Chains A and B, each alone.
Chain A
Amino acid sequence: MKILEAKNINKSFHDPITIQVLKEVTFSIEQGEFISVIGKSGCGKSTLLYILSTMDTDYEGDLIIDGVLMRNKKEAELARVRNEKIGFVFQFHYLLNEFSVLRNVMLPGIKLGKYSDQEVEHKAMEKLKILGIESEAKKKPNQLSGGQKQRVAIARALINDPLIIMADEPLVILTKKTANWSLTFSRSYLMSIISRCS
């Protein structure tokens, strides 16, 4: 089953001069498939990721996620798609320091509104357990180490059991052991990861 399809995606930057970054990018991803995008810096890896993640809507071509065409969708609908079907892990962790670790993981789950707060909390604890940081659940993110923060970010990406996990150099700051472990883990969960590795 095709989880994500990109058809003839073109993207240009216009400032200060028009440069076409992505030319006719066409590919598809099956469920459970693991994909790495490799290229030298400035070749458009992140740009492609932002388009695939629906955050960037300024492109030509078609993007189909889970059989639904993303073009002409409203901002709120795209937000819903990101919430429900896509998990994000960024190069930088982007945790909210105002909330506890547990709450950070729970936020997208509560936003989805599919489960009650108690259920979301239970699920969040499970994800933290899988990543081995359940003991830090009550702490604030700024009390954690870099690697722990990144693991929290991974737990957050998993909370809504997304179809796709997109990661932008996620494992750079993780130890080799955690990195291997994370990758194995994501395979066993039958999810697709699009990962940018430099």
Chain B
Amino acid sequence: MNFKLIASVSRSLLFARWKQTLIAAIGVTFGITMFIALLSFMGGLNGLLDSLIINRTPHIRLYKEVLPSDIQPVDLSAQYTNHYNFVNSIRPKNERPEIQNSFAVINALENDRRVLGVAPKVTAQVFYNVGLVNLTGLINGIDVDAENRLFAFSEYVTAGNFVDLKNIPNSIILGKAGAEKMMVEIGDVISVTNPRGDRIPLKVVGLFESGIQELDKVQSYASITTCQKILGESSGYITDLQIKLHDMTLAPEMAKEYSELFDTEAVDIQSANAQFDTGSSVRTLISYAVGVTLLIVAGFGIYNILNMMIYEKMDSIAILKATGFSGKDVNRIFIFIALTIGIFGGLLGLLFGFGASVLIDQIPFDTPALPHITTYPVSYNPKFYIIGGIFSLVTTYFAGYFPSQKASKIDPVIIIRGK
């Protein structure tokens, strides 16, 4: 009842100066539009950059580091247990960088409910033979299916079919930059030299682009069995286990747990890529700051217009008070006006913001670094829309709060006496 009355009075005041109302609402609309467009674009970009690292990086990597033993023979001698033993120039013993009992470890990991999947890997240091020149290289022996499922391997294989790696024996996928350097194409056969000096011919079935050219020159992919063959190892020889979890945040503590359980080194994604997190959060912070600034500027616009309206409507406010409207009612009328501008301006802003995001999403964006990206990345995270909506209401409320306080304190006697 009372609300209806306040709404109707507010509406009349709003439409009495509809041009100014419109300008105030456009201010809010523009602010929210830019806020949404900016955050969606930033969010998309962040997501893209994160996915570059996070999608391709295991949440936990288990590997064996060849390290000198912590316990030296002298420590085991009963004669010297109560002595300080100094041993200089300790060297690691000849040990293979292999994860012990790898089949059992994989089995145990796959039965762990927190684990999404495990992709085993064998790395091999080789030389690519180009005529008389040897180029250093690193071949990653991968389980093609697991690698694709967990780390989107197919996304960066730009030429050839990644499945051929599994189906064609003795095949290899080279980095595009590396292939150019060696002047080979798909279907050619290259030869590599393994650490023991044996030459092995491999057929090029595809090219990949990781986005980092130096990496592409050196690295290449082969199937696990091919890689084990290059190294002359048995089928149980695994150097890395790449684990992907359901919940990435568990990685640090699970890394510690696995390290003890399987007696290997374990590194989690958070410690391996700390600088990346920082970059993302700083970018997000900047875009929020810009968006919030836009909205505050729009808020000042509303503040000005309401202030002016109050000076113009001084008489009307006085008469409303004389005929029985309380200060609180007058206060509510002006808050209502401000919130109406905020709601309509904000809603339009959300719509236009969505439109702008869709538009940005259509703009072509070709970069050799990211072969699977064709348009600018945009995130349609509902969080941005919720924050934008809430923020438009909060700004307009505060923009209306001070003028409405002023209006509610108008003394009708002074206005009426002045006439």
* Chain A residues whose CB sits within 8 angstroms of the CB of B411 once the complex forms: 55
Output the least CB separation between B145 and chain A (Å). 72
Output the least CB separation between A97 and chain B (Å). 8
* Contacting pair A46 B417 (CB below 8 A): yes
- Asked whether any CB of chain A lies closer than 8 Å to the CB of B89, the reply is no
* Chain A residues whose CB sits within 8 angstroms of the CB of B419 once the complex forms: 90-92
- With A50-B417, A55-B413, A98-B12 as given contacts, are A76 and B328 in contact (CB-CB < 8 Å)? yes
A92 to B328, CA, bound (A): 25
Chain A residue at minimal CB-CB distance from B317: A96
Q: Is the interface of B mostly helix, strand, loop or mixed?
A: helix
- With A98-B12, A113-B1 as given contacts, are A82 and B327 in contact (CB-CB < 8 Å)? no
Against A, the Cβ 8 Å flags (1 = close, 0 = not) of B1-25 are 1100100010011011000000000
- Asked whether any CB of chain B lies closer than 8 Å to the CB of A7, the reply is no
- Asked whether any CB of chain A lies closer than 8 Å to the CB of B319, the reply is yes
Against A, the Cβ 8 Å flags (1 = close, 0 = not) of B312-350 are 000110111111111111000000000000000000000
- Asked whether any CB of chain B lies closer than 8 Å to the CB of A139, the reply is no
Against B, the Cβ 8 Å flags (1 = close, 0 = not) of A64-106 are 0000000000011001101110001011101111110000000
* Chain A residues whose CB sits within 8 angstroms of the CB of B160 once the complex forms: none
A128 to B275, CA, bound (A): 77
Output the least CB separation between B311 and chain A (Å). 15
* Contacting pair B413 A80 (CB below 8 A): no
Contact of A53 among B9, B12, B16, B322 (CB under 8 A): B322
A50 to B416, CA, bound (A): 10
* Contacting pair A55 B321 (CB below 8 A): yes
Within 131-150 of B, Cβ neighbours of A (below 8 Å) are at none
- With A99-B12, A110-B5, A113-B1 as given contacts, are A50 and B324 in contact (CB-CB < 8 Å)? no
Residues of A in contact with B (beta carbons under 8 Å apart): 46, 50, 53, 55-56, 75-76, 79-80, 82-84, 88, 90-92, 94-99, 107-108, 110-113, 156, 168
Identify the 10 closest CB pairs spanning chains A and B, nearest first.
A83-B324, A79-B326, A98-B12, A76-B326, A94-B319, A108-B323, A98-B16, A92-B419, A82-B324, A50-B413
Residues of B in contact with A (beta carbons under 8 Å apart): 1-2, 5, 9, 12-13, 15-16, 315-316, 318-329, 411-413, 416-417, 419
